[in-house]
Structure 1
């Protein structure tokens, strides 16, 4: 559903998958500074909004998702993943319980599929799943402007869920900043985004989601075997990196562009890129784990220096002690 804020003077639509909200309102750099200073908000109303109600909601979601949710306190925000049986990330959810229901926001276009999956998994439990994306919207506001509604910590203040009809009024209270401003702060904070910085093979360890969206000591859930195996015995095949891009080039690498090392060998792909008002052009990329951390890279043909987000040593936390048989006396 196209945001009404695209009708504001100077509004320019963002690229897919965010074409239903504004990339900027005519002043990208000023919007980014205002957002960082806490005097602006971001319309992220293209994101999906789900509500899961019923007395069994926390126990049920706990059994399906990667996070420990059985004792999630009202008002406590968290993140969780829905994994495939092979441990690949299928959905990334931001969750908060308001005491009566769990609210979740997810990537644009993914809510119908996720709601349909959850609905199939209800069985006889007392839960109800609603896709409320048409009636509610996600916005990122200064933290102090978000009382009394489902609130989620965010890279630029606080994300909150409001009625979609309230969007025009919010633009009268705060300066709107486009998604370009938000994405620049997100990338600078090393926060990956599902669907942009991931692909169909991505696993939690590669993205740095183990610490924020996975509980390593909870019971069975779909994909748990892969998470446990990598954490205890293996290493993920790839790792997320932050890229400082050559500022003398007048373009940003596109999503999916190859990341190469000198000689032309492809070692990964570009996820998301943006222009930061202080750092200049920056990006996130997913590269092979064994790429040296000091290697100079080319991202879509643009020279790039990498900064470690996910360590090459992630995983393999099991401590295995070898017991030797005592030598036999002659």
Structure 2
């Protein structure tokens, strides 16, 4: 866990939100993504990965189970693509419906070990238990009550809560948070936290060239639940210890573009996927061949160095 006192907040309304309803919703998601859904109860949730039939990554999402539906929070710009992708697997007898709620709801994330303080002021319930657990509440603001789903988790290793509610009340909640002296993260600051903590994103660390084991997403995979899209490939990689590359953080000597090759003694052993600069230096995410090393390994990248560092969000299964 990454300690930040806070609280601070960021508006994540541009992240996708998909409502999955119908009597077969849990079975459907159980069969279409990497995590196990059928044993989850209302108020619980999980992180899960959408993968292709060959286990290539599409997106990392968070699922929140309600009595009559499941709300999926997915990466920015991915809702329409994932709805179209899932729709291909809904057959005539399946009782499953998909709806895009991105434009009708807001999502605001409060980060920090003191993130519960503004929620208590708003008279909102605090979900206990694991990340993705959630409760429905009503925020009491001077400008009126706001129905809000309170979710434990921030999408990062930093603790906190994500609040989802009706789009029409988005500005009211943001204004209230600002009036309480709670600072807003900029997109650049969020990106810095994402890279340094190791949250993979589509188009960068989640592509047709990567699988969730390589991306450090072992915690999102059920190895016991049986058949699902991509299951055979993932099971084979796990059984035969076939993960040939891994996602690592890197401390760079100077900025380089994404897709720049990582080299060890002149041999190409990986590539950079994301790069940020902040007041602590230059940081990157990238894939490194498993046999080339891990934390502490120093590589060359263009005319500078890259030292591999651990990632708070990465889980590595038998590679740990």
TM-score for both structures, normalised by structure 2: 0.77
Taking the aligned partners of 1:266 and 1:87, their CA distance within structure 2 comes to 24
Q: What residue number does 1:235 align with?
A: 242
* CA apart distance, 1:107: 1.5
1:280-317 deviations in whole A, cap 9, x for unaligned? 322211122221334312345442211245699946x9
Q: What residue number does 2:89 align with?
A: 121
Does residue 266 in structure 1 map to residue 245 in structure 2? no
Contact 1:140 1:158 in 2 (8 A): yes
Taking the aligned partners of 1:111 and 1:51, their CA distance within structure 2 comes to 10
* CA apart distance, 1:112: 0.8
* CA apart distance, 1:225: 0.6
* CA apart distance, 1:36: 3.2
Contact 2:274 2:286 in 1 (8 A): yes
Q: What residue number does 1:222 align with?
A: 229
1:38-58 deviations in whole A, cap 9, x for unaligned? 232112222111001122211
Does residue 133 in structure 1 map to residue 102 in structure 2? yes
Contact 2:106 2:164 in 1 (8 A): yes
* CA apart distance, 1:138: 2.7
Seen in structure 2, the aligned counterparts of structure 1 residues 231 and 255 have a Cα distance that, compared at 3 Å, is same
RMSD (Å), alpha carbons: 2.6
Contact 1:235 1:314 in 2 (8 A): no
Q: What residue number does 1:244 align with?
A: 251
Taking the aligned partners of 1:87 and 1:227, their CA distance within structure 2 comes to 6
The 5 A counterparts of 1:75-90 are: 75-90=43-58
Taking the aligned partners of 2:252 and 2:317, their CA distance within structure 1 comes to 25
Q: What residue number does 1:102 align with?
A: 70
Pick from 257, 260, 275 the counterpart of residue 254 of structure 1: 257
Contact 1:239 1:311 in 2 (8 A): no
TM-score for both structures, normalised by structure 1: 0.75
Listed as ranges, the gaps of 5+ residues in structure 1 are 1-34, 318-330
Contact 1:243 1:305 in 2 (8 A): yes
Q: Give 1 or 2 for the bigger CA radius of gyration.
A: 1
Does residue 168 in structure 1 map to residue 171 in structure 2? yes
The 5 A counterparts of 1:1-330 are: 36-123=4-91, 124-142=93-111, 143-144=115-116, 145=119, 147=125, 148=136, 149=149, 151-154=151-154, 155=156, 156=158, 157-174=160-177, 175-211=183-219, 213-246=220-253, 249=254, 252-263=255-266, 265-276=267-278, 279-293=280-294, 294-299=296-301, 301-308=303-310, 314=318
Contact 1:75 1:151 in 2 (8 A): no
The secondary structure found in structure 2 opposite 1:170 is helix
